[in-house]
């Protein structure tokens, strides 16, 4: 699938754009062309270094704020070998604690959403208030040394940003907003807090967590892995922006790929894009090449009748995929009307396995009632239930990629400029683990 | 077999690509003069260049069959350039779709009305020439339930009725009228090549329903259209030839 057409994508001018996330190109970074050693994906030793130098150092995404609206609502989420409680407080704030009873080490809750007035250990009934402090230690007088000096659950840094709850296993972590850097401001234009959560899935995948991050950080695989998308987006004229730890790329939607010569009629996925924007494909008189801009114009002009507020987005954001990686493990496909967020979590002990979380959000027309929060949908290893066509296509590659990476014949990743975000991702990893 | 097309004059609107393009190429190979058109002047100019130098001459200019006056002028100009019209092949279509009521208007105007206008304009030409052949291109989507209920299926079906009844009224002028109903046809740049990527399951399902395990080619349909339009088919009129490799399951009595 060669590139057979020269395609010029009209983009908003970053110098003169009046609204929305900056379309400006970040300064280039010198990242070299060296091979990325495969041990980063396959070795137990590297996995342990990642735990010490990355997972226990950075900010990690825990849940949506509206999943825990009332005091006593909490999310229990695991990361690697740890488990964490994110707890809505009586004062409306959120605090985070290690999910472990300070008596004999029992976990206090299973992963997932729940509500409680106090946490109680299922072993000896030690009890903790929502703020983590001991509520009751049965037969305390039989502990001659008294209660543990920690005074309750071990608390960790916790903060909220853009409707999401974050935590860190690093007591010395920098402020969340500082950690997110400029990409926080970029994404605030989407107002995720206005979007309703519609899907919450976790799938067990047989690959390293980075293999999954990689798959959502480059568009070079589109032609072979997702041929249907060649009739919907430009997989080649993609703007890549590398920041400090984080990165993004901007993929034009609503156009044919330059790997496709022409379409005999409006391709079905473009029809969906048009219909979602309120344009009848049968009544559309323009050319297929003009659909992207027609959709942008239509959405801008009709946002009131669509019941949507796009005033904080630039025109490209009305169609395109502004795709962010928040280091180390959050891929955000941001669109005007929805957010597809992927959280890639390492397996507690096996570099060849991971947990893939899908969180979907939708901007509903104003006044339309929000759906109930989605229930957690868990797909154990070997599940063949579809996660959606595009993700199924990626998942089909990943187990095979991981198996191949373990081959004696394979030295590591040989990357193109189309995969620059992966190179940047690995530079950050290398800097942190000292590799 | 000599199809007897040498020196004949054919009008084939909307013929710069796909099945109708192959019809033009086969007619030219048989020594038939052909007039072509499509909406884009560049496309017509390129097709004229590519089709030149064959056994038959090729004429053409850009024309939108939706524009009644322009379409009728095109027919008149082409008839004059070729010195008459013996064959008219009508297969222009707005394509499928169930997006809105607009699909019905488009298929009516493009598929039905342009065919009717074309037939009404060429019949006097053929009467003058002492006879002729009109071949309408339909679809098997009119013959059996296919996809969603939609304008393309229904209105292409209306042309089967029109073609049959037209064959009765112009028979005495030695004008034959037939239809060809192709099943799914695969070619690069065609609808099924796009659906292979964008609606892979539907494509695979449709492919499986073909007894020979493949879709047809434009050449395979074009040769049937050319045959029916040629003097060799002199005793065939008012029929509908299904060209689908056995895709449709009904028994055609």
Mean pLDDT, residues B22-29 taken together: 98
Can you give the pLDDT at residue A435?
80
Contact B99 A269 (CB under 8 A): no
Residue to substitute from B194, B196, B200, interface A, most A β-carbons within 10 A: B194
Exposed e or buried b for every residue in B161-184, given b needs 16+ CB within 10 A?
Answer: ebbbebbeebeebebbbbbbbbbb
How far is residue A412's CA from residue A314's CA, in Å, rounded to a whole number?
39
CB-CB neighbors (< 8 A) of B190 in chain A? 264
**Chain B residues 127-166 within an 8 A CB cutoff of chain A:** none
Handedness of CA B24, B26, B28, B31 (dihedral sign): negative
Contact A264 B197 (CB under 8 A): no
Exposed e or buried b for every residue in A264-284, given b needs 16+ CB within 10 A?
Answer: bbbbbbbbebbeebebebbeb
For residue A88, name the pLDDT band (cuts at 50, 70, 90). Answer: very high
DSSP string, A181-249: THHHHHHHTT-GGGEEEEEEEEEEESS-HHHHHHHTS-STTHHHH-GGGGGTB-SSS-EEEE-SS-EEE
How far is residue A44's CA from residue A212's CA, in Å, rounded to a whole number?
18
CB-CB neighbors (< 8 A) of A261 in chain B? 189
A-B interface: how many C-beta pairs under 8 angstroms? 49
- Give the percent of chain A with pLDDT over 70: 100
Question: Which domains does chain B carry?
Answer: 9-185+219-241 (3.40.50.720)
Residue A59 has pLDDT above 90, yes or no: yes
Can you give the pLDDT at residue A363?
97
What are the sequence ranges of the domains in chain A?
36-56+182-433, 59-172
Only one residue has tokens 């239509």, namely A298
**Chain B residues 9-28 within an 8 A CB cutoff of chain A:** 18
Q: Is A285 on the interface with B (CB under 8 A)?
A: no
Contact B97 A282 (CB under 8 A): yes
CA–centroid distance for A373 within its chain: 18
Tell me the two tokens of residue A134. Answer: 């001991």
For residue A258, name the pLDDT band (cuts at 50, 70, 90). Answer: very high
Can you give the pLDDT at residue A126?
98
Contact B100 A264 (CB under 8 A): no
Give CA separation, A231 vs A253, A256, A268, B124, B194, in Å.
10, 5, 8, 45, 8
Nearest by CB to residue A280, choosing from B99, B189, B190, is B99
Alpha-carbon distance B103 to nearest alpha carbon in chain A (angstroms): 6
How far is residue B177's CA from residue B119's CA, in Å, rounded to a whole number?
10
Residue A188 has pLDDT above 90, yes or no: yes
Which residues is A75 bridged to in the sheet?
A86, A113
Fold designation for A59-172: Rieske Iron-sulfur Protein (2.102.10)
How far is residue B157's CA from residue B71's CA, in Å, rounded to a whole number?
23
What is the length of chain A?
A: 435
Backbone angles phi, psi at A346, to 5 degrees: -70, 155
Could you tell me which of B191, B180, B108, B182 has the C-alpha nearest to residue B151?
A: B108
Mean pLDDT, residues A29-55 taken together: 98
Can you give the pLDDT at residue A182?
97
Can you give the pLDDT at residue A372?
97
The pLDDT tens digits of the residues spanning A193-250 come to 999 999 999 999 999 999 999 999 999 999 999 999 999 999 999 999 999 999 999 9
Mean pLDDT, residues B77-82 taken together: 98
**What is the enclosing helix (H) or strand (E) of A115?**
strand A112-115
Can you give the pLDDT at residue A386?
96
Residue A99 has pLDDT above 90, yes or no: yes
Can you give the pLDDT at residue B109?
97
Can you give the pLDDT at residue B79?
97
Can you give the pLDDT at residue B17?
94
How far is residue B160's CA from residue B162's CA, in Å, rounded to a whole number?
5
Q: Residue A384 CB: number of other CB atoms within 10 A?
A: 6
What is the length of chain B?
A: 253
How far is residue A381's CA from residue A214's CA, in Å, rounded to a whole number?
20
Alpha-carbon distance A310 to nearest alpha carbon in chain B (angstroms): 26
Mean pLDDT, residues A390-411 taken together: 97
For residue B253, name the pLDDT band (cuts at 50, 70, 90). Answer: confident
- Give the percent of chain A with pLDDT over 90: 99
Can you give the pLDDT at residue B7?
97
Q: Where are the beta strands (DSSP E) in A329-430?
A: 330-334, 338-346, 354-363, 377-379, 412-413
**What is the enclosing helix (H) or strand (E) of B114?**
helix B114-129
**Looking at chain A, which residue has its C-alpha nearest residue B151?**
A282
Residue A1 has pLDDT above 90, yes or no: no
The overall average pLDDT reported for chain A is: 97
Backbone angles phi, psi at B71, to 5 degrees: -65, -45
**Chain B residues 24-83 within an 8 A CB cutoff of chain A:** none
Q: Left if phi > 0, otherwise alpha if psi is -120 to 50, otherwise beta: which for B236? A: beta
Fold designation for A36-56+182-433: Naphthalene 1,2-dioxygenase Alpha Subunit; Chain A, domain 1 (3.90.380)
CA atoms within 13 A on the CB side of B168: 5
Please report, to the nearest 10 degrees, the dihedral formed by the alpha carbons of residues A360, A363, A365, A367 taken in order.
Answer: 80
How far is residue B202's CA from residue B147's CA, in Å, rounded to a whole number?
9
Mean pLDDT, residues A265-285 taken together: 97
Contact B99 A275 (CB under 8 A): yes
Could you tell me which of A370, A378, A400 has the C-alpha nearest to residue A163?
A: A370
Burial class (CB in 10 A: 0-12, 13-18, 19+), A62: buried
Residue A298 has pLDDT above 90, yes or no: yes
Contact by Cβ (8 Å): A280, B99:
yes
Mean pLDDT, residues A78-103 taken together: 98
Which residues is A239 bridged to in the sheet?
A250
Q: Is B125 on the interface with A (CB under 8 A)?
A: no
The overall average pLDDT reported for chain B is: 97
Q: Is the peptide bond before B33 cis (omega within 30 degrees of 0)?
A: no
The pLDDT tens digits of the residues spanning A2-27 come to 999 999 999 999 999 999 999 999 99
How far is residue A381's CA from residue A356's CA, in Å, rounded to a whole number?
11
Backbone angles phi, psi at B226, to 5 degrees: -65, -40
Nearest by CB to residue A264, choosing from B102, B189, B196, is B189
């Amino acid at each position: 699938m060669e590139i057979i057409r020269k395609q010029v994508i009209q983009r908003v001018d970053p110098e003169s754009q009046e609204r929305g996330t900056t379309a400006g190109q970040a300064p280039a970074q010198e990242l070299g062309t060296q091979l990325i050693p495969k041990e980063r994906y396959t070795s137990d030793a590297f996995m342990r270094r990642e735990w010490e130098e990355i997972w226990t150092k950075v900010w990690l995404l825990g849940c949506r704020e509206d999943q825990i609206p009332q005091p006593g609502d909490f999310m229990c989420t695991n990361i690697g070998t740890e488990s964490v409680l994110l707890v809505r407080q009586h004062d409306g704030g959120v605090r985070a604690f290690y999910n472990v009873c300070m008596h004999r080490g029992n976990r206090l809750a299973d992963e997932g959403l729940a509500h409680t007035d106090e946490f109680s250990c299922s072993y000896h009934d030690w009890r903790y208030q929502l703020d983590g402090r001991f509520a009751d230690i049965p037969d305390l007088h039989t502990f001659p040394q008294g209660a543990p000096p920690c005074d309750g659950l071990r608390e960790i840094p916790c903060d909220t940003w853009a409707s999401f709850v974050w935590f860190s296993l690093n007591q010395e972590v920098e402020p969340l907003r500082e950690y997110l850097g400029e990409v926080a401001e970029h994404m605030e234009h989407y107002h995720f807090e206005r979007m309703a959560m519609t899907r919450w899935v976790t799938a067990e995948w047989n690959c390293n967590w980075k293999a999954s991050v990689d798959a959502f950080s480059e568009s070079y695989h589109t032609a072979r892995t997702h041929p249907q998308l060649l009739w919907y987006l430009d997989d080649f004229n993609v703007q890549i922006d590398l920041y400090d730890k984080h990165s993004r790329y901007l993929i034009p939607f609503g156009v044919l790929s330059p790997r496709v010569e022409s379409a005999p009629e409006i391709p079905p996925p473009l029809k969906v894009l048009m219909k979602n924007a309120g344009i009848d494909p049968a009544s559309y008189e323009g050319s297929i090449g003009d659909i992207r801009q027609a959709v942008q114009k239509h959405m801008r002009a009709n946002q009131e009748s669509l019941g949507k507020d796009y005033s904080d987005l630039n025109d490209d954001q009305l169609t395109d995929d502004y795709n962010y990686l928040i280091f180390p493990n959050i891929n955000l496909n941001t669109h005007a009307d929805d957010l597809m967020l992927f959280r890639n979590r390492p397996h507690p002990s096996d570099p060849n396995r991971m947990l893939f979380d899908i969180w979907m959000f939708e901007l509903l027309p104003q006044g339309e009632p929000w759906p109930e929060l989605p229930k957690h949908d868990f797909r154990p290893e070997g599940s063949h239930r579809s996660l959606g066509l595009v993700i199924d296509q990626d998942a089909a590659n990943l187990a095979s990629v991981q198996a191949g990476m373990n081959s004696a014949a394979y030295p590591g990743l040989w990357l193109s400029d189309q995969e620059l975000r992966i190179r940047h991702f690995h530079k950050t990893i290398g800097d942190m683990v000292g590799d | 077999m000599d199809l007897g097309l040498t020196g004949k004059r054919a009008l084939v609107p909307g013929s710069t690509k796909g099945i109708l393009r192959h019809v033009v190429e086969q007619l030219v190979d048989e020594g038939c003069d052909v007039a072509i058109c499509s909406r884009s002047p560049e496309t017509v100019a390129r097709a004229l260049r590519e089709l030149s130098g064959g056994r038959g001459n090729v004429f053409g200019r850009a024309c939108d069959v939706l524009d009644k006056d322009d379409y009728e002028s095109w027919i008149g100009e082409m008839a004059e350039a070729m010195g008459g019209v013996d064959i008219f092949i009508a297969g222009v279509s707005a394509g499928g779709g169930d997006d809105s009521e607009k699909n019905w208007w488009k298929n009516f105007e493009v598929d039905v009305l342009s065919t009717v206008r074309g037939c009404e304009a060429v019949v006097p030409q053929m009467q003058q020439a002492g006879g002729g052949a009109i071949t309408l291109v339909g679809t098997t989507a009119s013959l059996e339930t296919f996809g969603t209920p939609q304008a393309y299926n229904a209105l292409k079906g209306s042309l089967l009725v029109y073609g049959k009844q037209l064959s009765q009224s112009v028979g005495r002028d030695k004008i034959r009228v037939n239809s060809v109903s192709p099943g799914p046809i695969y070619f690069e740049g065609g609808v099924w090549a796009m659906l292979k990527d964008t609606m892979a399951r539907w494509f695979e399902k449709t492919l499986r329903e073909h007894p020979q395990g493949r879709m047809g080619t434009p050449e395979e349909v074009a040769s049937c259209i050319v045959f029916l339009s040629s003097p060799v088919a002199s005793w065939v009129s008012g029929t509908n030839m299904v060209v689908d490799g056995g895709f449709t399951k009904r028994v055609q009595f």
